[in-house]
């Protein structure tokens, strides 16, 4: 799926530009039109070195060890439960934050 938005300025992208792209991508993901969302960008290390990065944003995946470690370090009690809280937050905010420019390491 290729996204084209004639309103976007590619010389100086804004948060609004990222928001438009994010909304379209999340709508397609929610409808099942696309199965995964990745963000590709170049991570600046120094003036000579830039690292290409491909980050999977959705669906979020955890291995069993990460889940067990997270369960043992829980400091919060979620209201509603943690699954409902994540359903309210994901996929909307983290993807927009990453696309909006805070995708560094």
Structural domain count of the chain:
1
Question: Is 87 among the domain residues?
Answer: yes
Please count the other Cβ atoms lying within 10 Å of the Cβ belonging to residue 96: 19
Exposure b/e, 39-74, CB count within 10 A at least 16 = b: eebeeeeeeeeeeeeeeebbeeeeeeeeeeeeeeee
50-72 pLDDT, tens digit each: 999 999 998 888 778 877 777 66
**Residue 84: its pLDDT value, please?**
77
- Give me the domain span that covers residue 47: 15-102
pLDDT band at 104 (very low <50, low <70, confident <90, very high): very low
pLDDT band at 74 (very low <50, low <70, confident <90, very high): low
Please give the Cα distance from 95 to 29 (Å, whole number): 11
Question: Is 4 among the domain residues?
Answer: no
Question: Is 10 among the domain residues?
Answer: no
Please give the Cα distance from 50 to 16 (Å, whole number): 26
């Amino acid at each position: 799926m290729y996204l084209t938005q004639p309103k976007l300025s590619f010389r100086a992208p804004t948060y609004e530009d990222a928001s438009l792209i994010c909304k379209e991508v999340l709508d397609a993901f929610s409808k099942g039109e696309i199965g995964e969302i990745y963000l590709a960008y170049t991570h600046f290390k120094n003036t000579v070195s830039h690292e290409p990065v491909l980050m999977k944003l959705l669906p979020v995946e955890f291995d069993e060890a990460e889940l067990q470690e997270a369960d043992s370090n829980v400091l919060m009690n979620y209201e509603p439960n943690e699954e409902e809280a994540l359903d309210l937050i994901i996929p909307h905010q983290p993807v927009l934050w990453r696309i909006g420019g805070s995708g560094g390491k």
